[in-house]
Amino acid sequence: MEIASTVWTLTCTALVLFMTLPGLALFYGGLVRQKNFLSVLTQCFGIAAIVSVAWMLCGYSFAVGNQGSGSWFGGFSLVGLSDDGLWLDALFQMTFAIITPALIIGALVERVKFSFIIAFSALWVLFVYAPVMGWIWKGGALSSDGFGIFNGVGLQDLAGGVIVHETAGLAALVLAIMLGGRAGFPASVKPPHQPGLVMVGAAMLWVGWFGFNGGSAAPGDGGSTRAILVTHLSASAACITWAAWEYRKAGKMSLVGIVTGMVAGLASITPAAGHVGPVGAIIIGGVAGILCQEVIGLVKNRFNIDDSLDVFAVHGVGGLWGTLVLPFLAGGWFGGAGLGGVSIGEQFMVQLVGVAIVGVFTVIATLIIANVCRAIFGMRLDDASIEEGSDYISHGESAYDLS
């Protein structure tokens, strides 16, 4: 059983890394203009490299060092990670740490400096992502451990609705406001240059998400099967409702819209995949396909914030929706696994307070880190460089012959 568990975890580790490289890179890359395509790929690749090193040196320690103590910070006891008994867990968790800041760049594409992205991602993973992960997954302050602040109940988040999607979504919103919009936003923003690549990247995300959620559940008791099944159903339901809602509003169902709906369904089911059943998953995904689409309009048109690739609306709102609705859909009448004797009301209050604590911390810490990085490296490319395109200005290359 131990060998099978190790093989399963290693397989899921590969799937989660596959989500970022090449899945998210192609998904985001297809959504930008052709002169910025390579910059997105480079940012995803650079984040994977810098976060991997930072995570193994001290990020894992900052999350796990005081495991089970109900603490707010993991400490320095595992810096350097010399204990090979922890390597498997650290490796699996590293892939989550990679994709979370990579999600954030979707709000900043086509106008942000590469140096800012790399510096911000390294610091943000260490001082935002790692502590939050420890609070919820590793016996920290918001966990079900007896030392947690919720008296043994704990915030339920199977694979990162709060840890990954809420933190990334809120950080993306903060940075988008700081950075300012693209030229011509919102009236004349150019459409995606390659919707076909968007679909290819999204398909990789769909497959990789089975490792994301399935690897976070216990394989021996059917937990992984439940997680993968409801993950697929939520994504499918969100595709349907997003497409139907888009058709209702615009008279057409776009490929980019359908695959974005799928991502909203995946983000929304992530926290709840360990508790809800098939019916609950369809409800979560079905609502997400409409809810996240409407929030995109609010962010861009009502509040005039250029979250370029809709990170907050799709990931932030999706993750929050799945986290908060979890207690109501975990019951057996929806095919759920239950809440372990905790009442719906009690669990909901824990979920609500937990996301509020994480939200406030994420916003404040993101502002501090972003301002430090901006002061040292700058943040926004100048207007002439933006017009020329990030591919050539930042990396001296072009994905296409633009002559």
Q: Which residues pair with 380 in a beta bridge?
A: 112
What the block records as the tokens of 213 is 């959620």
Decide if 138 contacts 335 (C-beta within 8 A).
no
Q: What does DSSP assign to residue 281?
A: H
The residue behind tokens 């990679």 is 98
3-state secondary structure of 112: strand
The pLDDT of residue 146 is 82
Task: Give dist(CA 82, CA 94) in Å, integer.
Answer: 16
Q: What is the pLDDT of residues 264-291, one digit of tens each?
A: 999 999 999 999 999 999 999 999 999 9
Cα separation, 110 vs 176, in Å, equals 12
Report pLDDT for 66.
Answer: 87
Q: What percent of the chain has pLDDT over 70?
A: 99
Query: What does the pLDDT average to over 353-380?
Result: 98
Query: Hey, what are 119's tokens?
Result: 């510096």
As a whole-number percent, the residues of the chain with pLDDT over 90 amount to 88
Enclosing H/E stretch for 302: none
**Closest to 103 (Cα-Cα) out of 306, 313, 340, 325:** 313
**How far, in Å, CA of 306 to CA of 303, rounded?**
9
Residues 6 or more apart whose Cβ sits within 8 Å of residue 399:
34, 37, 38, 391
Asked whether residue 26 carries a pLDDT value surpassing 90, the answer given is yes
- Asked whether the predicted pLDDT for residue 1 surpasses 60, the reply is no
Domains of the chain: 2-395 (1.10.3430.10)
Per mean pLDDT, which range of 89-103, 110-124, 208-222 is the poorest? 208-222
Q: Which of 37-51, 123-137, 175-189, 302-316 has the lowest mean pLDDT?
A: 175-189
Q: What is the mean pLDDT of the chain?
A: 95
Q: How many CA atoms lie within 13 A of 39 on its CB side?
A: 30
CA distance 337 to 386: 50
* Residue 403 confidence (pLDDT): 55
Q: What is the tens place of the pLDDT at every residue in 41-86?
A: 999 999 999 999 999 999 999 999 888 889 999 999 999 999 889 9
Segment among 27-41, 47-61, 204-218, 332-346 with least mean pLDDT = 332-346
257, 317 contact by CB (below 8 A): no
Q: Is pTM, for the whole model, over 0.75?
A: yes
Encode pLDDT of 299-311 as tens digits: 999 999 999 999 9
Summarised one tens digit per residue, pLDDT across range 206-254 is: 999 999 999 999 776 679 999 999 999 999 999 999 999 999 999 999 9
Lookup: tokens for 243: 């497409």
The answer to whether the Cα torsion of 90, 12, 122, 295 is positive or negative is negative
The answer to whether the beta carbons of residues 324 and 359 sit under 8 Å apart is no
